[in-house]
Amino acid sequence: MKDFKEEIAGCLTQAIDLPKEELQDMIEIPKDETKGDYALPCFRFAKQFGKSPMLIAEDLKEKLNLSRHQY
């Protein structure tokens, strides 16, 4: 079975300067299934980036090129 947390963390290292293993530990499975299969709580980066979690999430979305991944 493919480890999607590892795949997601690998993609995130392109946009966030943190080790893959550290990012992998931050990725969560939302309690509410309507919120997706995996989540990265961006409030952890608010102080570091000086932005709201919502803006950080939007920036990450723009930086990541997920079209090359097929699941």
Position 71 pLDDT exceeds 60: no
pLDDT, one tens digit per residue, over 13-57 is: 988 888 999 999 999 999 999 989 999 999 989 998 899 999 999
In a domain, 1, yes or no: yes
In a domain, 5, yes or no: yes
In a domain, 9, yes or no: yes
Q: For the chain, how many structural domains are there in total? A: 1
Domain that holds residue 13: 1-27
In a domain, 2, yes or no: yes
Local structure of residue 39 (DSSP, 8 states): B
In a domain, 22, yes or no: yes
Question: What is the residue-wise DSSP string for 4-57?
Answer: HHHHHHHHHTTTS-S-HHHHHHH-B--SSGGG-S-B--GGGGHHHHTS-HHHHH
Looking up tokens 């409030």 gives 43
In a domain, 68, yes or no: no
In a domain, 6, yes or no: yes
Model-wide pTM > 0.85: no
Pick the closest to residue 30 from 20, 40, 16 (CA basis).
40
In a domain, 62, yes or no: no
